[in-house]
Structure 1
């Protein structure tokens, strides 16, 4: 990808958050002309960073819905890790592979779980004991520094007062997770430990084919 094109990166980030969108919606979100968006989409498609599907929405011509391709996700993840100085995952995959070759599957599962538990305790120390919104703001910073595109916002739901939705649109350890998919299963447990006195429920999961991972986080009174 031509990294000098901030507009292309903006389009990729927009699609990463939206999941899939037509060119017109991207133009409205970014505040640029649909013609300019379509030119960039054509370039991104040629670079294999996006893909599209055709759908019929009402009468008229079929509409093209664009989404970030697996190569595009990997490119964004790599760029963010470079910007944030995050550690590449190649050595982690090799190290875990060497460990997996010398221990039983049960022992490997225990190792991964203990690693997530330690990560959760490290997060807890850095998040402190302030209001939930403040802790989530700090968690977003920590995760972003690790290569995740994360955000949070309050939930306007009478059934979940004072709750927040914490969302991640990419996976900073995707290469590790592809080799050791059980790693993803521990993320819910990790956030529950890191955010004391909170209930954490998974709402979206990339493993299930969704374009993001999401967690509903509610304080326990």
Structure 2
């Protein structure tokens, strides 16, 4: 990764901000990381990495904990704060939560749950039409692209193949939640997400493996073709 410098040889403010965004994204994806690992992944010097981390810490966007490994100096593991998560791009706001609160006050909680269920059903239909047909991996890859376009930091990984060499198992990860503010007030939407993925991939079983709502650093789903 290359970074342009200004005439004086110092990195421009724009590039500094871009590097900080890269650092926040990487920590979000990994959950926690060291300065050495960041320097290697981002291809910048350890000194520059530590400077960026110090500045991010001063802004309250990251924090670290010391881990002792044998004799010698402790190793520092860096994690994102809630403020750091909010600094990354997302596609949600307070309006949705305010609207649901108003709906609950005027029509009752049952109506809110009915609206949320209708929403995931509509979303599942929309996803299924856009994903179309193809192998399971092709459909998951298209699903990941759609989720990324909506603000989710999504990716998938291959797991086992069957005896005929067909890829049957995948892990789908989402390292942030584009509807986190809604999920905090109405955690039932997390259950709807699982139902939605099952509806999108009707020939598969879908199980939750990780959950941001339970203080894990990502949401994860095991997707497996049914025999």
TM above 0.5, yes or no, is yes
Are 1:179 and 2:185 counterparts? yes
Residues 24-63 of structure 1 deviation map (CA, whole Å, 9 limit, x = unaligned) = 1212222222111101101111111111112212221122
Matching residue of 2:144: 140
Q: How many Å separate the matches in 1 of 2:160 and 2:46? A: 32
Q: How many Å separate the matches in 1 of 2:134 and 2:199? A: 15
User: How many Å apart are 1:213 and its aligned residue?
Assistant: 0.4
Given that residues 103 and 111 in structure 2 are in contact (C-alpha distance below 8 angstroms), is that contact kept between their aligned partners in structure 1?
no
Matching residue of 2:39: 27
Given that residues 52 and 67 in structure 1 are in contact (C-alpha distance below 8 angstroms), is that contact kept between their aligned partners in structure 2?
yes
User: How many Å apart are 1:190 and its aligned residue?
Assistant: 0.7
Select 1:58's aligned residue among 70, 87, 97.
70
User: How many Å apart are 1:151 and its aligned residue?
Assistant: 0.8
Are 1:12 and 2:24 counterparts? yes
Given that residues 124 and 196 in structure 1 are in contact (C-alpha distance below 8 angstroms), is that contact kept between their aligned partners in structure 2?
no
Q: How many Å separate the matches in 2 of 1:220 and 1:127? A: 19
List, as ranges, runs of 4+ consecutive aligned residues in structure 1 with deviation greater than 3 Å.
156-161
Matching residue of 1:84: none
Q: TM-score with structure 2 length normalisation?
A: 0.86
Greater length-normalized contact order (CA 8 Å, ≥ 6 residues apart): 1
Are 1:155 and 2:159 counterparts? yes
Structure 2 unmatched runs, 5+: 1-12
Matching residue of 1:85: none
Name the SS of the counterpart of 2:221 in structure 1: strand
Structure 1 unmatched runs, 5+: 82-87
Are 1:45 and 2:57 counterparts? yes
Return closer, same or farther for 1:60/1:157 CA change in 2, 3 Å cut-off: farther
User: How many Å apart are 1:65 and its aligned residue?
Assistant: 0.7
Q: How many Å separate the matches in 1 of 2:72 and 2:34? A: 15
Matching residue of 1:111: 115
Return closer, same or farther for 1:13/1:3 CA change in 2, 3 Å cut-off: farther
Are 1:211 and 2:217 counterparts? yes
Matching residue of 1:165: 171
User: How many Å apart are 1:3 and its aligned residue?
Assistant: 6.0
Given that residues 77 and 171 in structure 1 are in contact (C-alpha distance below 8 angstroms), is that contact kept between their aligned partners in structure 2?
no
Aligned length: 212
Matching residue of 1:96: 100
CA-atom RMSD, angstroms?
Answer: 2.0
User: How many Å apart are 1:106 and its aligned residue?
Assistant: 3.0
Name the SS of the counterpart of 1:218 in structure 2: strand
User: How many Å apart are 1:7 and its aligned residue?
Assistant: 1.4
